[in-house]
Amino acid sequence: MVDADGTEVAGLDMRPVREMLNGRFITLARADLADALLSACQDVPTHFGVSIVGIGRDGQEAIVTLSDQRQECPAIRVEMS
């Protein structure tokens, strides 16, 4: 971990974890992961800082309620019988 100036202030020896997982362990910066996910989902609306608090429907459309009380109708079709 680094502080705002980039100075290392804490660390963790990950060798035991790598050994336990036979080398199948990597570290990945959160920003790099977010960039990869957002790049793969270019046309999907993305909302940060909110959670889904409700899912309903209006006819054949799904309605998603977010924790900031916005409601979205994602471009999906819900098949319910």
Amino acid at the residue 60: Q
Amino acid at the residue 47: H
For position 45, what pLDDT does the model report? 76
Q: How far is CA 31 from CA 8, 22, 61, 68, in A?
A: 18, 26, 33, 24
For position 18, what pLDDT does the model report? 86
Is the distance from CB of 1 to CB of 10 less than 8 angstroms? Answer: yes
pTM value is 0.47
Amino acid at the residue 73: C
* pLDDT tens by residue, 8-67: 999 888 889 889 999 888 888 889 998 998 899 887 778 888 999 999 988 888 899 999
Check pLDDT > 80 for residue 74.
Answer: no
For position 78, what pLDDT does the model report? 46
